[in-house]
Amino acid sequence: AQRVTQPEKLLSVFKGAPVELKCNYSYSGSPELFWYVQYSRQRLQLLLRHISRESIKGFTADLNKGETSFHLKKPFAQEEDSAMYYCALLYSSASKIIFGSGTRLSIRP
């Protein structure tokens, strides 16, 4: 079955420390993966997509098909990174998007 797994419900790190939010997926086809972020009192919004291989707000994510992972990383955490982060998988043939259970990132000053 297709699935997105985020094993950490909460991740708390100090400002300036590296951050890694884990995401693993299960999908028989070629995956299209995304990271979405929800800041306090704001709408859920796209952070980055694997196909673009971009860095947004210092975050990067690399698709590892061998490990079926798409972990989100940032070398130096900032307080404004505190938010809820969701990993998402798109079934492009069906236009269907499923999300993981989310990880709440808390950056301590």
Partner 1 sequence: NAGVTQTPKFQVLKTGQSMTLQCAQDMNHNSMYWYRQDPGMGLRLIYYSASEGTTDKGEVPNGYNVSRLNKREFSLRLESAAPSQTSVYFCASSEGQGSNTEAFFGQGTRLTVV
61-93 in b/e form (b: 16+ CB < 10 A) is bebeeeeebbbbebeebeeebbbebbbbbbeee
> Which residue stretch of 14-22, 40-48, 54-62, 70-78 sits at the interface with partner 1 (rule: CB under 8 A)?
40-48
When binding is defined by CB under 8 A, the residue of 52, 66, 67, 109 that contacts partner 1 is 52
Size of the site for partner 1 (CB under 8 A): 25
Look up residue 30 and give its amino acid. Answer: S
- Residue closer to partner 1 by CB (options 33, 77) is 33
CB 109, CB 46: distance < 8 Å: no
18 CB burial (10 A radius; 0-12, 13-18, 19+)? exposed
Contact between 22 and partner 1 (CB under 8 A)?
Answer: no
Handedness of CA 36, 57, 40, 82 (dihedral sign): positive
- Residue closer to partner 1 by CB (options 13, 44) is 44
Considering the complex, what minimum distance in angstroms separates the CB of residue 109 from partner 1? 25
Contact between 25 and partner 1 (CB under 8 A)?
Answer: no
Residues of this chain that interact with partner 1 (CB under 8 A) are 6, 9, 32, 34, 36, 43-46, 49, 51-52, 86, 88, 90, 92, 94-102
